[in-house]
Structure 1
Amino acid sequence: MAMVPESFTLPDSMLRLLISTGLLILAIIILRTLTARFIRRNVTSSELRGRLLVNFRNGFLLLGILGLALIWGDQIRSLALSIVAIAVAFVVATKELILCVSGAILKSGAGSFNLGDRIQVKDFRGDVIDQTLLATTILEVGPGKTGHQRTGRMIVVPNALFVSEPVINESFTDHWDFHVFTVPFKREDDWHAAQKALLDAANRHCEPYLEAVRKHMNKVGVLRGLEVPSVDPRVTIQAPVASEIHLTVRLPAKSGQRSYIEQSILSEVFADTDFSSKKPRPSDDEKEEKNEQDD
């Protein structure tokens, strides 16, 4: 024998809600019809009649919405709580992705860096080669925070870091940058002579393009409303500990050539000169003269 499906039944509470809803809609329709008929028969001004019809129509609509909200309030509240719970679970599950998207919006809106810029965020430092909605790809530069050689490693940085960590952009301008490097000495070394030699070498290497850098920095200062820094090479003295003297060299350099000019200056200064406190070794001629004197 074929199975007879059980008849569909509604709970008593749901049935009462549906009946109340039907009565509310029926009452509003009757009231609206009677009101519209009364206005059309008794209001002679067409402008006033049209305004009253529109106002009463909107009023009955608002009354119907409020009535439905009162009738279905408990069910709407339960549905809202369920939606909020689902939304909270979704946010918790996708928190990292949301932070990545927020970081992408933040760095784009703030203009923190562009493709090709050299940046440092947390312990990651390198040249930006790609940007997506979730991550930023850089080619690592090092070693450490003062090196300028590419290590050959690619780092994919999640954009979530840009929300909580500061970003250091080492590419101040598109054409010229300021480069800073430090040379340590002992206090008893001849660091005075080293300071002069470093400054002379820096001036000699920067002289061909120093005027071009000055014009470019003046232009950048006008566009950004900044006080233009001096572009002339300088060597300053620092004493991080009692027994050491550090000479800090700052000079302008073309983007991408900071490591080259640093190595050129250091090679020139230290090629034939020893600034240490040790006495220099006597040359072969001096040795022969000394031997002849002894004889």
Structure 2
Amino acid sequence: MLESLAWVPENFSLPDSMLRLVVSTVLLVLAIVILRTLTARFIRRNIASSELRGRLLVNSRNGFLLLGILGLALIWGDQIRSLALSIVAIAVAFVVATKELILCVSGSILKSGAGSFNLGDRIQVKDFRGDVIDQTLLATTILEVGPGKTGHQRTGRMIVIPNALFVAEPVINESFTDHWDFHVFTVPFKREDDWQAAQKALLEAANRHCEPYLEQVRKHMNKVGVLRGLEVPSVDPRVTIQAPVANEIHLTVRLPAKSGRRSYIEQSILSEVFASADFSSKKPRPADEEKEDNE
């Protein structure tokens, strides 16, 4: 026995406050054990009914157990409070150190719960725009599309977006439906250009390119409207006029297009329209007018 305690350092000692707590704990445990033993013996000897005896034994055991827990809480209250404060401080430090990771996990839960987008969708978050190719608990990977917010060409760059952005930033999903989308592009003109003819030519070209599948788009959008409870907009191509600045007219073309072919149909329409006509102003310049008057 003495040899087994040889590993204890010679100068090992407990502080007086800790020693008092240990002694108080030992005395409390001994007192509860003795009282429970005496109480159980008294019940077994003096209670004749087995049902009542069993109930009293169980109740006494639970009562002494509760008394012991309360006594330990009173004895070790200050130490338990200090330990709780230390645990809280450690937890706060851990949260501060891993704040970004926690935000990423929260963003992943948010976008999954809201169904913001799926693999293959074209999304935009802040200045990042592209097609989703991978999703993990911490990040979302997209293939960048551009240039700018109106281009539809793959730039060849891969962007890894931390999911923390989805907590504070809105997500634009350009793939509202799985098969057909509305595509919008703008063609600028000067006010003196023949933009009326350009508007007519763009509308005719859009109708011609969309005619083969226009009825399919109409049926699909009606089905989406019924499923989502939305009022489906007209799917017919249209060209609207905007005047963002005093000397310019912008023609905004909106038309239905198959997912993944928006850039193709836009380029087809523009190539057809501008290859067949010149809508620039043909008015003579002031120098030319003065030359004609002199002649």
Report TM bin, short chain.
0.7 to 0.9
* CA 283–11 in structure 1, closer or farther in 2 if over 3 Å, else same: closer
Q: Which 10-residue stretch deviates more, 11-20 or 88-97?
A: 88-97
Who is 1:245 aligned against? Answer: 249
* CA 5–151 in structure 1, closer or farther in 2 if over 3 Å, else same: closer
Could you give the per-residue CA deviations for residues 203-257 of structure 1, whole angstroms, max 9, x where no partner exists?
1111111111111112212222222222111111111122221111111110100
Q: Which 10-residue stretch deviates more, 250-259 or 152-161?
A: 152-161
Deviation at 1:123, TM superposition (A): 0.6
Deviation at 1:149, TM superposition (A): 0.4
Deviation at 1:5, TM superposition (A): 5.1
In structure 2, stretches of 5+ residues that fail to align are: none
Question: TM-score of the superposition, structure 1-length normalised?
Answer: 0.87
Deviation at 1:57, TM superposition (A): 3.0
Tell me, in whole angstroms, the C-alpha distance in 2 between the residues paired with 1:285 and 1:36. Answer: 124
* CA 201–7 in structure 1, closer or farther in 2 if over 3 Å, else same: same
Deviation at 1:18, TM superposition (A): 1.0
Who is 1:140 aligned against? Answer: 144
Who is 2:74 aligned against? Answer: 70
* CA 44–265 in structure 1, closer or farther in 2 if over 3 Å, else same: farther
SS in structure 1 opposite 2:186? strand
SS in structure 2 opposite 1:125? strand
SS in structure 2 opposite 1:274? coil
* CA 281–201 in structure 1, closer or farther in 2 if over 3 Å, else same: farther
* CA 74–182 in structure 1, closer or farther in 2 if over 3 Å, else same: same
Deviation at 1:60, TM superposition (A): 2.7
SS in structure 2 opposite 1:228? coil
* CA 284–238 in structure 1, closer or farther in 2 if over 3 Å, else same: closer
Tell me, in whole angstroms, the C-alpha distance in 1 between the residues paired with 2:197 and 2:171. Answer: 38
Deviation at 1:122, TM superposition (A): 0.8
SS in structure 2 opposite 1:188? coil
* CA 282–112 in structure 1, closer or farther in 2 if over 3 Å, else same: same
Deviation at 1:275, TM superposition (A): 1.6
Could you give the per-residue CA deviations for residues 92-149 of structure 1, whole angstroms, max 9, x where no partner exists?
2222222222212221121111111111111111111111222111111000000000
Tell me, in whole angstroms, the C-alpha distance in 2 between the residues paired with 1:151 and 1:139. Answer: 8
Deviation at 1:68, TM superposition (A): 1.1
* CA 201–26 in structure 1, closer or farther in 2 if over 3 Å, else same: same
Q: Which 10-residue stretch deviates more, 148-157 or 235-244?
A: 235-244
Q: Which 10-residue stretch deviates more, 114-123 or 274-283?
A: 274-283
SS in structure 1 opposite 2:255? strand
Q: Which 10-residue stretch deviates more, 102-111 or 116-125?
A: 102-111
Question: Alignment identity in percent?
Answer: 91
Tell me, in whole angstroms, the C-alpha distance in 2 between the residues paired with 1:210 and 1:153. Answer: 34
Tell me, in whole angstroms, the C-alpha distance in 2 between the residues paired with 1:274 and 1:17. Answer: 98
Could you give the per-residue CA deviations for residues 150-184 of structure 1, whole angstroms, max 9, x where no partner exists?
11111111111111111111110111111111111
Tell me, in whole angstroms, the C-alpha distance in 2 between the residues paired with 1:116 and 1:167. Answer: 15
Q: Which 10-residue stretch deviates more, 202-211 or 279-288?
A: 279-288
Could you give the per-residue CA deviations for residues 49-93 of structure 1, whole angstroms, max 9, x where no partner exists?
544444443333222222211111111111122222222222222
* CA 70–274 in structure 1, closer or farther in 2 if over 3 Å, else same: same
Tell me, in whole angstroms, the C-alpha distance in 1 between the residues paired with 2:204 and 2:168. Answer: 43
* CA 44–18 in structure 1, closer or farther in 2 if over 3 Å, else same: same
Q: Which 10-residue stretch deviates more, 161-170 or 25-34?
A: 25-34
Q: CA RMSD in A?
A: 4.5
* CA 52–192 in structure 1, closer or farther in 2 if over 3 Å, else same: farther
* CA 2–218 in structure 1, closer or farther in 2 if over 3 Å, else same: closer
* CA 270–280 in structure 1, closer or farther in 2 if over 3 Å, else same: farther
Deviation at 1:43, TM superposition (A): 5.4
Tell me, in whole angstroms, the C-alpha distance in 1 between the residues paired with 2:11 and 2:74. Answer: 30
Tell me, in whole angstroms, the C-alpha distance in 2 between the residues paired with 1:62 and 1:254. Answer: 72
Q: Which 10-residue stretch deviates more, 222-231 or 264-273?
A: 222-231
Tell me, in whole angstroms, the C-alpha distance in 2 between the residues paired with 1:143 and 1:3. Answer: 74
Question: TM-score of the superposition, structure 2-length normalised?
Answer: 0.87
* CA 285–213 in structure 1, closer or farther in 2 if over 3 Å, else same: farther
Who is 1:163 aligned against? Answer: 167
Deviation at 1:46, TM superposition (A): 5.2
Q: Which 10-residue stretch deviates more, 51-60 or 165-174?
A: 51-60
Tell me, in whole angstroms, the C-alpha distance in 2 between the residues paired with 1:99 and 1:236. Answer: 42
* CA 70–42 in structure 1, closer or farther in 2 if over 3 Å, else same: same
Number of equivalent positions = 291
